[in-house]
Structure 1
């Protein structure tokens, strides 16, 4: 049987062409600055041309109005056609007329002429739109066109308005010549302003950002490179704050990377001794099994505690290497009786009624959702730290208490542990949960609280120092979930088990 042939896949459609766009911030800034300044200059040209046209037409109106006063000065109207034409030529118009008492009267020439229909420009009632559009209408008019202009009188006060008709060719030539002059001046001013703006922004923003970006790139390539450190200027603006924050971030990252390197070295060391350590613990576990066979009541009483310690030591020896390499194993969560877990952790932490005692009002039926072994490690760490702090106080005589209470808030279980010890020293508070730097006591590694917090975060919660002082410390352990209390029968059955 012939195998089915799969048709070849259609070739991907080539991407459409995109407009070229410079990649550098400096080039983009130059392009945008030039574009915006050019647009600003282009916005200046229309009102400038409109004002030039209006002024040019008003000059023609005033010249024609003065010419009309000469014609009006002859009461017998003996102005010849030759004189009339000379007056019109000097004013640059074809017709001059006045509106007097509601009647339009032709002043120059003295006899009506047949002319082509002109287009109207009424300088008396121009709004902003018609004022801006007037020069472009003039430039687009056909060659040889005439323009009819109406304006308020200045010299002929008896008239309601002055009206002139003139060819628009001189106006077109005037507008075109001034357009190129204005365009040249505008481009020069725009180029000068754009260049100054570009240089200023490049000096104030682009070059500092390039320097910061270069430092970040070099730091990413080699955090140990001394040249990768950003040079902090004395600027007090956002650039200065960015430089200061980047410098602080680089310092913190170098410190963190050094700590990670130490953790990696620790992981390698643990990996080398892990096999031998597990063999030793296995031998100790076999010895404990032999002790169990002796039948000594005292040995039988202490043996469960020894077995639990050996089991957890073997598990810890297998898991501690993961901390130096990456992270803790994922918790295998289930419901755990909190009161029983607290009492077991207190026993393994060395708490006793005659020394540092555990006090709690937690109902034995209360449950939490957690990995039993990891919860035991968290509680043991916290309780042991509290006991060591209290016993280390010279005026306490090894006596104290650790009070534990449970609260349920917003779907989370909050386990609050309060002791009456001397509190966490000021120097240790900032790095309390940092490995190797958060130890409170001399000789400590600082791993205890770091591991406890990582385990709590793996359960969807957290571990935090709520308050501390001469009166003691308060830690808040948060675990996700609010399970219902266990039935009383199950609690009694659990207590009755050997």
Structure 2
């Protein structure tokens, strides 16, 4: 299914030459031909050896005519007939101390090469075979070996090499034609098998990915996984799960964006109203009326929380990509500033421990890192102060430590709060996912996570439980 935009967004098959199917077909043909070549090399050597052995066997049979004569000699006419039957120019039979010759009237000529079939090896046979196939002038060759009638005798024959070469070329052509037929048949069988088992399902996966990219919110663009139990079936199911999660996430983000637009307008006006209310609450706080003085801090605190809530909401909605302006500064001094601004109780029951070395100088965006540490520190303070199920006022501590490991900066924030609930840990750094106070919207941790990610790092929960929580920030220093 194509998204809006017509055929420009439609899934198009790649050109036939560069498609996966064509590559599989060509590779199959190439590999089959390569296998045929590996078979042809010893086969042509074997063919040549058999050819020479047949000529030597004919010469051996022709030599039996010499044994039928009393003097071991034959007439010239019979010699020519025997040589024609043996496809030979001359035949020699050798014993331990004697030698007999069958030769026509003409002298055979100069012998170009000699081959002893008694002493051969596969490599020598292959080399001699390709030497014979290599273009050169016609020549006579001498072949000798043991007699089949009497292994103690040596049979020699002088033959023309050209008929053997022509026979070898004919054999090679037959092997080539057979190899082409076998490779094409094999390639087509492999092609259709792979097309049905791999290419066709992969095209479905590719088409679904393209259509999902164009319109991820359209349910029809998601792939319907098959029941296959192999890797492709697993890929289809994983793709379907990923598409479902992404579509759900996009729908949620769309709703949040719409909500954020509306809240930014409301928050802007509400912050102005709260600013006026804050001024009034400050005036009320100095009233001489005891009852008013008692209620004024509660009113002021509620207004302060409302102002912080609207400010955080506006900052989160208005932030698209956080710009990072790096500079070198002492991290310990920044932690001190954060400790003075996180809103600790004035009675001193919550301690702020700055464990950062005085000489630790880092390269980061000071303002943005202050904002991230402020949100994380305030969240830790509120987690301790807001503990439920206790009759006395909550007390505890927040400790900040830092260092470098393998070229990366780490900052730990440890508090003595009640720990993180198990069911919210996966959504801890998502917007509206978790708040340490009952009236918060869970933006502080999301903003801090965005800032740390903009620095090329991330935030992780190192430990959490009844004894407290430890978060670790990892930042890349450029």
TM over 0.5: yes
1:473 paired to 2:469: yes
SS at match of 2:36: helix
What is the deviation of 1:58? 0.3
Of 247-256 and 332-341, deviating more is: 332-341
* Alpha-carbon separation, structure 2, partners of 1:388 and 1:63: 106
The answer on whether the counterparts of 1:389 and 1:422 sit within 8 Å (CA) in structure 2 is yes
What is the deviation of 1:413? 5.7
Which residue matches 1:447? 443
1:171 paired to 2:164: yes
Q: TM-score, normalised by structure 1?
A: 0.75
> Residues 362 and 85 from structure 1, CA distance in 2 versus in 1: closer, same or farther, beyond 3 angstroms?
closer
Q: Which residues in structure 2 correspond to 1:8-407 (within 5 Å)?
A: 22-101=17-96, 105-109=99-103, 113-122=106-115, 123-139=117-133, 145-159=139-153, 161-273=154-266, 275-280=268-273, 283=276, 316=312, 319-323=315-319, 326-330=320-324, 335=330, 337-338=333-334, 340-346=336-342, 348=343, 350=345, 352-354=347-349, 357-360=350-353, 362=355, 371-372=366-367, 375-376=370-371, 378-388=373-383, 391-395=386-390, 397-407=392-402
> Residues 351 and 21 from structure 1, CA distance in 2 versus in 1: closer, same or farther, beyond 3 angstroms?
farther
What is the deviation of 1:440? 6.7
Of 121-130 and 71-80, deviating more is: 121-130
What is the deviation of 1:359? 4.4
The answer on whether the counterparts of 1:424 and 1:440 sit within 8 Å (CA) in structure 2 is no
SS at match of 2:471: strand
Residue deviations 1:300-321 (CA, integer Å, cap 9, x gap): xx9x999998997886565333
Q: Which has the higher contact order (CA 8 A, sep 6+)?
A: 2
The answer on whether the counterparts of 1:33 and 1:197 sit within 8 Å (CA) in structure 2 is yes
Specify every segment of 5 or more residues in structure 2 that has no aligned partner in the other structure, as ranges. Answer: 1-14
The answer on whether the counterparts of 2:90 and 2:108 sit within 8 Å (CA) in structure 1 is no
The answer on whether the counterparts of 2:271 and 2:307 sit within 8 Å (CA) in structure 1 is no
> Residues 480 and 128 from structure 1, CA distance in 2 versus in 1: closer, same or farther, beyond 3 angstroms?
closer
* Alpha-carbon separation, structure 2, partners of 1:80 and 1:289: 145
Residue deviations 1:332-354 (CA, integer Å, cap 9, x gap): 765562453243234x2557545
What is the deviation of 1:55? 0.4
Residue deviations 1:437-484 (CA, integer Å, cap 9, x gap): 345776753322111222233455543211112332222245677xxx
Residue deviations 1:180-201 (CA, integer Å, cap 9, x gap): 3323322222222222222333
> Residues 458 and 344 from structure 1, CA distance in 2 versus in 1: closer, same or farther, beyond 3 angstroms?
farther
Residue deviations 1:236-294 (CA, integer Å, cap 9, x gap): 54434433432333233223323331332233224433542454355457768989999
What is the deviation of 1:385? 4.8
> Residues 49 and 63 from structure 1, CA distance in 2 versus in 1: closer, same or farther, beyond 3 angstroms?
same
Of 284-293 and 390-399, deviating more is: 284-293
The answer on whether the counterparts of 2:462 and 2:471 sit within 8 Å (CA) in structure 1 is yes
* Alpha-carbon separation, structure 2, partners of 1:478 and 1:78: 105
The answer on whether the counterparts of 2:316 and 2:443 sit within 8 Å (CA) in structure 1 is no
The answer on whether the counterparts of 1:277 and 1:317 sit within 8 Å (CA) in structure 2 is no
SS at match of 1:345: coil
* Alpha-carbon separation, structure 1, partners of 2:367 and 2:305: 14
Q: TM-score, normalised by structure 2?
A: 0.78
> Residues 442 and 59 from structure 1, CA distance in 2 versus in 1: closer, same or farther, beyond 3 angstroms?
farther
Residue deviations 1:330-386 (CA, integer Å, cap 9, x gap): 46765562453243234x2557545xx224264896877653576256334443355
Specify every segment of 5 or more residues in structure 1 that has no aligned partner in the other structure, as ranges. Answer: 1-19, 482-498
What is the deviation of 1:214? 1.3
Residue deviations 1:92-144 (CA, integer Å, cap 9, x gap): 222111343377x34313x7741232332513344445423444544566786
What is the deviation of 1:204? 3.1
Count of matched residue positions in the alignment of Structure 1 and Structure 2: 451
The answer on whether the counterparts of 2:408 and 2:475 sit within 8 Å (CA) in structure 1 is yes
Which residue matches 1:4? none
RMSD: 4.2
